[in-house]
Structure 1
């Protein structure tokens, strides 16, 4: 057997002890982790824990494994929203297929999980818009997916919105630029697969009765074309409009969740033409700014929301001090005096329900709700206590490092005391 792992390969050490000479289907259950409501796969997929992290193992033909390994490595290097690949195991005995190893995307959810849990009220249209945004981002990068579906996508909460991540890239192709024909075919495949998946949810009584699976799926091409046109079209306008029209276009692209790269403005006596290069990586302006001020690494919408709270806290500090407060000082004080106490209020048994930044976002939303009811601002700390006591326990647990480690700790305690862990 041969193993090929990306650096840092140290996290793969514990994985090497697994029985790679056996088919995944025959691995002992004690080595595996049950992931409820995961997407449907045509291959054998299993999950395991090593060094406190969760990994997905997929058994596929070696050429496909090498192809997917190379593409996912490229995607991660370019900042495209996809799962992170660790490595592959090839040349397994008895003609066994290769195994692709990817890192499980923490705090992510499958579409089946979303429709079966406390957030089932989230509309199919909302997930569809998120999927369309992912498809547009891939097409801008010259990626033909070939298997776009809800099953091949994971969703992460980002300040109340969703961000979609590609999970399966075995059929994907990389081109310098995608033709309209390839893009159209990719969208049509997505429409068919999404329709079938929603019908499957309907058959399982997981889809709200008012949603028509085919009607929703048939909207996908229209939504795709509208977004593609919005982020790629060339605009023509009068010279005296150039300043405001450029600003409006850039703001609109940012609102749609994309960053702006190079801007080309061509002027002539007839007017001006604007061409905007849309960056395909996940947007990061707010993430970078929040990291600079606080050291926190979060998603873009979360960063935008947290930055607003940092600025509000800075204004409060300046009002109380009667003098300006440097933004870096405000950022560090906000982290120590506001953010960390709120996150620290979450008990260990609830730590796996939401990402910490998402918890803070929901506390701010809860603060607004409580303040509206009370007729005055109840404050962040009061909102945090109420949210942790009444709202957070209602959310289902997702697969994360905290939840895995808590479960492992419970298993270990049960083995020592002779009891049974509570799952």
Structure 2
């Protein structure tokens, strides 16, 4: 047997020497089990595997060398633009088998912790609105990509990862090989992306129905059409030109407030008046997502999803009112909330369970569980007591490295023990 040495070429912004220890001389499909991390994989036209590297998990995709470099650069640019996407680690070329046969290049990305491909979400029987929530998340992602000038080319659930974001999902682009970055997209490019998304989603949902993962009564075509409606509504809200009389200048702030409610900040407004000054026109010129998450980061240093941030900020506001500190500097109150409320509650999660959910999601579920217990017991249940109940009755049943939103007690099958109940009521936050 020939033992032709490999001449690996590693392209990475921050190369990890441990990459050299992985078995690059073996085709990815044949990698030994001890090297791999058992995580759910989505559908891909390429071979994809997860591997452990220096205490983290990476995703490895075998792909042509030219395409690998191109996708690597696109993902780097998307990260710089702060678009939700997987983090590129590097590209490895020059792989050869022990017999000297050339092997395909690989693109390496960081595994997005607590995320799942859509098929894993549907591997259990989920609530009927789960598909709709996935579509809403994908619509927001597509709008953000298009605002950044990114043409996807193959929009689908399969090319997206989903993470919990309070009661909704946040979507991340995971496959950019068909994409292209422009200064600005034309209406034709946006329309084509949207139609591809609609058709792909309908097909994917019908495939789930054929596999009995999605109820036959669910209208896949209507859900695909809903994506287009949600996208257009959001795009209009973020980009439309609005005209009003000079006496209605309050509408400028109303427009800003509306965009904030959608989770976007207005970096710059284009405000013009007509010749006689009786009509005002406004149009957002710079729109940035993450209004609530940025505010929470500024106040507490917590880096969380947008809807998680909204929920935590609501609890911070309640804490501020309960302690009668509305007139104090918000930053001081936020520090006390962080050290007296958030951190003690999250620390009550045992170390062996901290890989199940992100701290912000744990706190969100604690707030939901507090509401449930308070309703049941007709009293305000202290958060410390809520946390003990949550850690004992809820968190042990959460599967590690997974985030299945909307699971019903009887649908967990072999993945967990049955969910505890009190007087027949499920203890789900």
Pick one of 278, 281, 287 that aligns with 2:293: 287
How far the C-alpha of 1:41 sits from its partner, in A, is: 0.4
Cα gap change, 1:18/1:153 in structure 2, threshold over 3 Å: closer, same or farther? same
Equivalent positions of 1:21-40 (< 5 A) are 21-36=25-40, 38-40=41-43
Q: Report if the CA contact (8 A) 2:296-2:313 is conserved.
A: yes
Does 1:375 find its partner at 2:378? yes
1:386 aligned partner: 389
1:14 aligned partner: 18
Partners of 2:286 and 2:126 in 1: how far apart?
A: 32
2:182 aligned partner: 175
Partners of 1:370 and 1:359 in 2: how far apart?
A: 16
Partners of 2:354 and 2:141 in 1: how far apart?
A: 28
How far the C-alpha of 1:125 sits from its partner, in A, is: 1.3
With normalisation by structure 2, the TM-score equals: 0.85
Partners of 1:122 and 1:304 in 2: how far apart?
A: 21
Does 1:102 find its partner at 2:109? yes
Partners of 2:281 and 2:217 in 1: how far apart?
A: 45
1:66 aligned partner: 69
Of stretches 234-243 and 19-28 in structure 1, the one that deviates more from structure 2 is: 19-28
Q: Report if the CA contact (8 A) 2:68-2:91 is conserved.
A: yes
SS in 1 for 2:234: helix
1:297 aligned partner: 303
Partners of 1:396 and 1:119 in 2: how far apart?
A: 15
Cα gap change, 1:249/1:386 in structure 2, threshold over 3 Å: closer, same or farther? same
Does 1:143 find its partner at 2:137? no
How far the C-alpha of 1:398 sits from its partner, in A, is: 2.0
Partners of 2:214 and 2:351 in 1: how far apart?
A: 32
Partners of 1:277 and 1:387 in 2: how far apart?
A: 45
How far the C-alpha of 1:97 sits from its partner, in A, is: 1.6
Pick one of 193, 200, 222 that aligns with 2:200: 193
SS in 2 for 1:354: coil
How far the C-alpha of 1:332 sits from its partner, in A, is: 3.0
2:166 aligned partner: 159
Deviations 1:340-382 (A, max 9, x none): 2211222234322221101101111221222223333112222
**Where does the alignment leave 5 or more consecutive residues of structure 2 unmatched?**
1-7, 404-429
Q: Report if the CA contact (8 A) 1:370-1:378 is conserved.
A: yes
Partners of 1:338 and 1:121 in 2: how far apart?
A: 34
How far the C-alpha of 1:312 sits from its partner, in A, is: 3.0
**Where does the alignment leave 5 or more consecutive residues of structure 1 unmatched?**
401-423
**Higher helix share goes to which structure?**
1
Q: How many residues align?
A: 390
SS in 2 for 1:99: strand
1:419 aligned partner: none
Q: Report if the CA contact (8 A) 1:45-1:58 is conserved.
A: yes
Does 1:273 find its partner at 2:277? no
Cα gap change, 1:314/1:110 in structure 2, threshold over 3 Å: closer, same or farther? same
1:92 aligned partner: 95
How far the C-alpha of 1:71 sits from its partner, in A, is: 0.7
Partners of 1:326 and 1:234 in 2: how far apart?
A: 36
Does 1:76 find its partner at 2:84? no
Partners of 2:172 and 2:37 in 1: how far apart?
A: 21
Deviations 1:241-261 (A, max 9, x none): 122x11222222222232222
1:240 aligned partner: 247
Cα gap change, 1:14/1:312 in structure 2, threshold over 3 Å: closer, same or farther? same
SS in 2 for 1:219: helix
Partners of 1:256 and 1:294 in 2: how far apart?
A: 22
**Over aligned residues, Cα RMSD in angstroms?**
2.1
Partners of 2:187 and 2:218 in 1: how far apart?
A: 30
Q: Report if the CA contact (8 A) 1:317-1:325 is conserved.
A: no
Cα gap change, 1:228/1:286 in structure 2, threshold over 3 Å: closer, same or farther? closer
Does 1:344 find its partner at 2:344? no
How far the C-alpha of 1:399 sits from its partner, in A, is: 5.3
Q: Report if the CA contact (8 A) 1:58-1:99 is conserved.
A: yes
Cα gap change, 1:136/1:326 in structure 2, threshold over 3 Å: closer, same or farther? closer
Partners of 1:359 and 1:24 in 2: how far apart?
A: 36
How far the C-alpha of 1:393 sits from its partner, in A, is: 3.0
SS in 2 for 1:259: strand
How far the C-alpha of 1:174 sits from its partner, in A, is: 1.0
Of stretches 384-393 and 326-335 in structure 1, the one that deviates more from structure 2 is: 326-335
2:408 aligned partner: none
Q: Report if the CA contact (8 A) 2:81-2:148 is conserved.
A: no
